[in-house]
Amino acid sequence: MRWFLPFILRFRTRPWLTAGVVKIEAENAEILAELYQKFQAGKIRFLIAFRHPEVEDPLCMLYLLSRLVPKAARQHGIKLQEPIHSHFIYERGMTIWAGNWLGWLFSRVGGVPVRRGRRVDRLAIQTARDLFANGKMPIAVAPEGGTNGHSGIVSPLEPGVAQLGFWCVEDLRKSDRTETVFIVPVAIQYRYVQPPWTKLNWLLSKLEADSGLAVQSISQSAINNSTEIYHQRICLLGEHLITEMEEFYRRFYHQDLPQIPNQTLIPRLHRLLDTSLKVTEQYFNIQAQGNFIDRCRRLEDAGWNYIYREDIADIHKLPPLKRGLADWIAEEADLRMQHMRIVESFVAITKTYLQEQPTSERFAETALLMYDMLTRIQDSTLPGRPSLGLRQVQITVGEPISVTERWEKAQNNRHAARQAASTLTQDLQTALENLIS
């Protein structure tokens, strides 16, 4: 994997060969080098909590650990034992849509699959807990739980990382071990090597045409200095898509979506996302609980249960009637899940993201999310995104957060322990946000 990594990052599995990552830099990589040295000396245990804006993040993390951390160690005279690597947790749905080969590969490079949803995956949790306390390598987790498509926005963190940290301290104390437990925030941000204004103009023109809007042309001389025009085009496209989807749910799913005069885009978008999830929840008979991300996780689990039937020992031995009904249910469940998939693409959209920094990267992120939506509607199988240009990655390692210190202050008090876990999650969120600000 280390030998192939630069080629994978550069080309990945897309038909366009200019879609890859050509440069990765790390700030404060010596922090991780020092932590690995102490880990290998048996003084500490630590978990790497990394941002997860894009699907390339795990590859970038592998590059960080295999190339940049050893380089920083050499520069600072820190002696480390090879390999510098980590276990990692990945969502089992990845192997469902990518294929069994991915599970075969992940199992051999330190991966632990976890099943998200209504039911607790006790085996995965126990495995991760044991590796955190006893593994020969640290463990890495994306506390956001999934990609959000934005280098500049951290989605709400799931509480599992903080809980793993406190469990690790407890497990060490039960074994009379004195290692200190840390969580290390790591931010990942993507930038285009050259601002992709020309290709962004092409992409917006394609989205306008595909959605039925008149294509707005920008003169060649104005392509690179018309941020206000790009902002207007994206807002107009967003309003058009929301209007179309509102009418779609009113007419065909009988949803109550009254037209409110002068209502701004973000409230309309949130109402639309809620409606999309309700349509899916009604089908799977699931009560809405939590935020948009929580609801998406529960629906994903419900959909997998309808498609990959654990109550059928051997589908090939079913009589034609039962096989046909099973296929029927699987097809309908897959179609219903597309409503949820659209919601996943827009959970991180905010009113001010483009206004605060009207950069080509942020315009491109938003346009690509719209592209995802339109392609999902046209085809349930999401194709590869179009390339807008070569990218470079900035990885920033934050200051380690001591879990042991917080556990000691909260032990023997159940309420204080719950509050400490909640505070740790919030502090980790703040740390990741500060690293990308």
**188: β partners:** 395
Predicted local distance difference test score (pLDDT) of residue 117: 66
Domain that holds residue 374: 197-378
User: 320 with 426, same domain?
Assistant: no
What's the Cα-to-Cα distance from 434 to each of 159, 429, 430, rounded to whole Å? 19, 9, 6
Looking at 378, 400, 420, which one is the last position of a domain? 378
**In residues, how long is the chain?**
437
User: 230 with 353, same domain?
Assistant: yes
> For residue 271, what is the enclosing H or E element?
helix 265-284
Torsion, CA 66, CA 71, CA 74, CA 75, rounded to 10: -160
Rounded Cα gap, residues 275 and 390, in angstroms: 37
Locate 282 and state its tokens: 């009604």
Q: Specify whether the backbone of 144 is left (phi greater than 0), alpha (psi in -120 to 50) or beta.
A: alpha
Whether residue 140 lies inside any domain: the answer is yes
User: 152 with 17, same domain?
Assistant: yes
Locate 56 and state its tokens: 């390339």
Residue 396: give its domain's CATH number: 3.40.1130.10
- The rounded mean pLDDT for the chain is 90
What's the Cα-to-Cα distance from 50 to each of 147, 195, 331, 391, 435, rounded to whole Å? 11, 26, 35, 19, 11
* pLDDT tens figures, 352-405: 899 889 999 999 999 999 999 999 898 756 557 888 989 999 999 999 999 999
User: 221 with 363, same domain?
Assistant: yes
Q: How many CB atoms lie within 10 A of CB 9?
A: 20
Single out the residue of 421, 377, 373, 435 nearest to residue 149, CA to CA.
373
Give residue 363's Cα distance to chain centre: 19
Residue 141: band (very low, low, confident or very high) from pLDDT cuts 50, 70, 90 = very high
Predicted local distance difference test score (pLDDT) of residue 224: 81
Cβ atoms of residues 286 and 300 within 8 Å: no
Predicted local distance difference test score (pLDDT) of residue 35: 98
Whether residue 383 lies inside any domain: the answer is no
Residue 15: band (very low, low, confident or very high) from pLDDT cuts 50, 70, 90 = very low
- Percent of the chain topping pLDDT 70: 96
Single out the residue of 134, 133, 94, 99 nearest to residue 111, CA to CA.
94
111-114 and 401-402 beta bridge pairing? unpaired
Cβ atoms of residues 25 and 397 within 8 Å: no
User: 215 with 269, same domain?
Assistant: yes
User: 429 with 374, same domain?
Assistant: no
User: 38 with 177, same domain?
Assistant: yes
User: 222 with 282, same domain?
Assistant: yes
User: 119 with 254, same domain?
Assistant: no
Whether residue 385 lies inside any domain: the answer is no
Torsion, CA 83, CA 84, CA 85, CA 86, rounded to 10: 120
Predicted local distance difference test score (pLDDT) of residue 22: 86
Single out the residue of 22, 359, 24, 352 nearest to residue 186, CA to CA.
24
Rounded Cα gap, residues 278 and 268, in angstroms: 15
Whether residue 240 lies inside any domain: the answer is yes
Cβ atoms of residues 432 and 398 within 8 Å: yes
Rounded Cα gap, residues 332 and 334, in angstroms: 5
User: 259 with 129, same domain?
Assistant: no
Cβ atoms of residues 184 and 400 within 8 Å: yes
* pLDDT tens figures, 34-66: 999 999 999 999 999 999 999 889 889 999 999
Largest interatomic CA distance in the chain: 70
pLDDT beyond 90 at 343: yes
Whether residue 347 lies inside any domain: the answer is yes
What's the Cα-to-Cα distance from 244 to each of 49, 266, 269, 272, 341, rounded to whole Å? 39, 15, 12, 11, 17
Give the predicted TM-score (pTM) of the model. Answer: 0.90
Number of domains in the chain: 2
User: 262 with 226, same domain?
Assistant: yes
Predicted local distance difference test score (pLDDT) of residue 262: 85
Whether residue 332 lies inside any domain: the answer is yes
User: 77 with 130, same domain?
Assistant: yes
Q: Specify whether the backbone of 252 is left (phi greater than 0), alpha (psi in -120 to 50) or beta.
A: alpha
Average pLDDT over residues 286-300: 91
